[in-house]
Structure 1
Amino acid sequence: MVPNSNLFSRSNTAQVGIGTLIIFIAMVLIAAVAASVLIQTSGTLQQQAQSTGKQATQEVSSNLIIKSIEGVRAKTSSTMASNISLLKVKVGLNVGSSPVDLNQLIITITDSTNTNDLIYGNNDKTYGSLMANFSSSNNASANLGHLLTGTQATPGANARYFFTVQKIRDEDISFSQGNPIMNTGDLVTIYISVVADGDLSYTTIDGVTTNSNQKDSNLDVAPRSAVSIVMTPEAGATTKAEFITPSSYGTRETIQLYP
């Protein structure tokens, strides 16, 4: 039996009306909101990625390098101390390093028995005051003298809590006692007091007249001592130097200890 084609009808008109319009508008709004959320999220992620990348680069690139360490013995006109009284740590920056603020540097030194955590003499954040008698207008030698002989009620003897610095090379003249910022190419000497309690009667340390007023550092760098120095900057990798002092200092006033 042949179907009757007259029973079927064909319509070429689509459904239009307010309902369809509402659905269309709702879909557009949802797409717009989703796009807005994606754009905002991608912007936030981009900012976080840039910030993280900058911090990671700074952590990797900010590196102090210990070039050498010398030990100096206290002396009088005729005798020298049996222990080392002062460490002169020559420090530079790695190639491509970001600037390093020594005012925020922490130096941890141990003689295998006692440990001192030292901050720069101009840092007043940790103990509420600068190193006793420290002045940004002083030359490095004057501040070194105060490091060796100065003391205050809090925290105590300068030698146990502070270090001072003298610049060796500073091409852009950006380094000062009050603003110790190191840039690539700069070279400085960091002074660390290691005066032993048995060496308080000597009158001179590295050309600085102490008149037997040097203060005990709570450290003892005698012959055959194992010494460790760790430098922790505000940002960047820590720098560490370990060495064992010679079996005898002989008649030398200055002894090369590292490398």
Structure 2
Amino acid sequence: MYILDINKKHLPDTKAQIGIGTLIIFIAMVLVAAVAAAVLIQTSGVLQQEAQATGKQATKEVSSNLMVHKIEGYRAKNSSTDMATTLDLIKITMGLNAASEPVDLKEVVISITDGYRTNNLVYAGNTNSRAPSPEFEGNMSGISTTNATANLEKLLTETSTLGDAEINVTYVNSQVYFTVDNIRDEDDSFSQIHPVLTTGDLVVVYVSTASQSSVNTGYTTLRSINVSSTLRSSGLNLEPRATVNMVLTPEAGASANADFILPTTYGSNEMVQLYP
């Protein structure tokens, strides 16, 4: 049986807090927590985006690698027995390492030195690098969109005047440009205007190294190109025993270096294997 104790008193709970002040403090704590959470979420989002961008750039830097397969040099000539004492054209066969990112050859810079002079060359179809002012195009004058042989001939024999009557500059093509032709291009990524190199592609890069002595002699032919009385000097002089350093620097990724010492004599060879 339950017996009600009428003498038991209910004491007030002195530990509880009531009133508008407590409510304000509670709401303030909720607002502070919400603001802090929003800041953390925004900051983590920004950091994630920056980390992804940095990761992509780092991946591109280590995966976009040019591979130089071989380098050959050619002598200007009048006949098989009358040839220059210098190498007047360099042919570079190259591709990409496995799993490399595509490389736009329009953005590649080739630096070549014979120990006395250095030429920094850009692709003949590059419209920006050699422009005398932003409103002008800087590509080699008269560049063909389809004919690589015609572009090689212009590289060896012509000059380019860029700009207008007020602002202009004239370049010797062989001192500032290089040209390219493709050997293998299964995905149709390569053209004379958009020379993009992808994994599996194989191209040849032509660099003029025509010496002043060859120009003065007036040789008629350079690798099947008619250069009779029109060959232009590159300023380089690739005589036997000279040390040549070449660096190919893409827009992103590692540079490709090729250092070699020219043979003690070229003998009767029109073409000389230089690298590897």
Shorter-chain TM band: over 0.9
Q: Secondary structure at the match of 1:215?
A: coil
Partner of 1:5: none
**How do 1:138-149 residues align onto structure 2 when only pairs under 5 Å count?**
139-149=147-157
Moved over 3 A (4+): none
CA displacement, residues 148-179 of structure 1 (integer Å, 9 cap, x when unaligned): 00113424110000000010110112211111
Aligned residues: 250
Counterpart amino acid of 1:191? Y
Q: Secondary structure at the match of 1:152?
A: strand
Counterpart amino acid of 1:199? S
Q: Which runs of 5+ in 2 are unaligned?
A: 1-9, 132-137, 162-168
Partner of 2:159: 151
Is residue 127–residue 155 contact of structure 1 (8 Å, CA) maintained in 2?
A: no
Partner of 2:201: 186
Once residues 124 and 171 of structure 1 are traced to their aligned partners in structure 2, the CA distance between those partners, rounded to angstroms, is 26
Partner of 1:25: 27
1:246 aligns with 2:263: yes
**How do 1:1-259 residues align onto structure 2 when only pairs under 5 Å count?**
11-12=12-13, 14-77=16-79, 78-128=81-131, 129-137=138-146, 139-153=147-161, 154-200=169-215, 201-259=218-276
Q: Secondary structure at the match of 1:123?
A: coil
CA displacement, residues 170-223 of structure 1 (integer Å, 9 cap, x when unaligned): 011221111100000000000000000000110100011111211000100110
Once residues 216 and 116 of structure 1 are traced to their aligned partners in structure 2, the CA distance between those partners, rounded to angstroms, is 12
Counterpart amino acid of 2:84? A
RMSD: 1.2
Q: Normalising by structure 2, what TM-score?
A: 0.88
Q: Secondary structure at the match of 1:116?
A: strand
Q: Secondary structure at the match of 1:84?
A: coil
Q: Normalising by structure 1, what TM-score?
A: 0.94
Q: Secondary structure at the match of 1:124?
A: coil
Is residue 64–residue 91 contact of structure 1 (8 Å, CA) maintained in 2?
A: yes
Partner of 1:3: none
Q: Which runs of 5+ in 1 are unaligned?
A: 1-8
Once residues 44 and 187 of structure 1 are traced to their aligned partners in structure 2, the CA distance between those partners, rounded to angstroms, is 40
Task: Return the offset for 1:243.
Answer: 0.2
Once the two structures are overlaid, the 10-residue window that deviates more, 145-154 or 174-183, is 145-154
CA displacement, residues 56-90 of structure 1 (integer Å, 9 cap, x when unaligned): 00000000011000000000124100000000001
